[in-house]
Amino acid sequence: MPATPERRRPMSREEALRRQEQKRQIDQKRRESYELSKGPIDMPFCLMVLLLTAVGLVMLLSASFPSAYYETDGQDPLHYFTRQAVFAVLGISAMGIISKINYQRFRGAARILLYVSIALLMLVLVPGIGQTRNNATRWIGIGNLFTFQPSEVAKMAVVLYFSDSISRKKEKMRTFRYGIAPYLVIMGIIALLMLMEPHLSGTILILGAGAVLMLVGGIQWRWVGLAAGFVGVVAALMATGVITYGQSRIAMWLDPFIDPRGAGYQLSQSLISIGSGGIWGLGLGKSRQKFLYLPEEHNDFIFAIVCEELGLIGASIIIALFVALILRGYWIALHARDRFGSLLVVGVVTLIAMQTFLNIAVVTGTVPTTGISLPFFSYGGTALAMQLAEMGVVLSVSRQMKPTKAG
């Protein structure tokens, strides 16, 4: 005889009322969240993003004109600018659309985006799929029509997943099992895949953003001390020559003019560009180093052209704009309505802050040279579109900020 299905126990009146109340509270929170998502965006942050994008396009046009003219045999001197402008329009459109979405909906995409980013990082290492430039395999693309770096997706995936996960754990973040171990595993897998490309600067950005989110999320300070101690020991071993990896790069960083035509060429030309600008600069469009003297003048080293053409004054104004954008972003995080929104903004703004600082530090010789672009300025359509989309996430959170007292 077939088994008789087990009958469910009838729901008591008290249980039915409790579930009904829970459903009512959930519906109420959803309605409140929907209404809040209709609020105004943070206009100062939005205007600073648009201003930096506009200035970045102007500087890219100036810096890339000679290279584009040479590479296209004079047929398309606006090649780099035109492509970047298209992605800027797409990115601004994405920023506007994302800013209108209730950021609570991003929770559902966190885990999926993380899995997709890891799959893409693995895919880029497959021969025949990943594209190699300058001895690094970091790109996936369709011929020469469209290429993108999976690392750009991985950055946002880590921020989104960490923000969602950490916001749910609260006091559990103080334990190793819940607050350290799972995030170390995720960052370890992503770092290993990116170092195989190799992509050192992208690895630093992801590890840095992940570490900041863990710190803000509530991990114990002793773990921060252990991590800082480990980094210090590695740096000391590299400085003393015990670890030989990157020794030539460190030597060129300390004095690029010991080999100005070889390994120290790029940094020495960058320093010459910065020195040529002086206080007031040579004038917009009047750089000399961009005429095929300075490598990557429209990409990683575009800030050197900024210094040469706009001088110390112009470069300082641009740095001040970046600082204002970053501080405003953290201000939005402080006034976010919930823990998830706050962590989300902290992660996105930390990525921009670290990338800006490292790029300017590399160009000025403050840290050893590594390939890292300047947000909103360096050539790279996918990176620019992703950065603007990330700004849309910050603006989405800003719509639901807690009201601030006047005065």
Q: Give per-residue pLDDT as tens, 156-177.
A: 999 999 999 999 987 888 888 8
Q: Give per-residue pLDDT as tens, 212-226.
A: 999 999 888 787 778
| Per-residue confidence (pLDDT) for residue 1, from 0 to 100 | 47
Q: Give per-residue pLDDT as tens, 69-107.
A: 999 988 899 999 999 999 999 999 999 999 999 999 999
| Per-residue confidence (pLDDT) for residue 193, from 0 to 100 | 93
- Look at residue 304 and tell me whether its pLDDT is greater than 90: yes
Stretch 179-203: mean pLDDT = 90
| Per-residue confidence (pLDDT) for residue 173, from 0 to 100 | 87
Cα 111 to Cα 330: distance, rounded to the nearest angstrom = 25
Q: Which position has the higher pLDDT, 202 or 53?
A: 53
Tokens of 250: 């460190």
pTM of the predicted structure, to 2 decimals: 0.87
| Per-residue confidence (pLDDT) for residue 405, from 0 to 100 | 58
Q: Give per-residue pLDDT as tens, 314-325.
A: 999 999 999 999
- Mean pLDDT score of the chain: 87
Domain borders along the chain are 63-100+246-400, 109-241
Cα 364 to Cα 381: distance, rounded to the nearest angstrom = 25
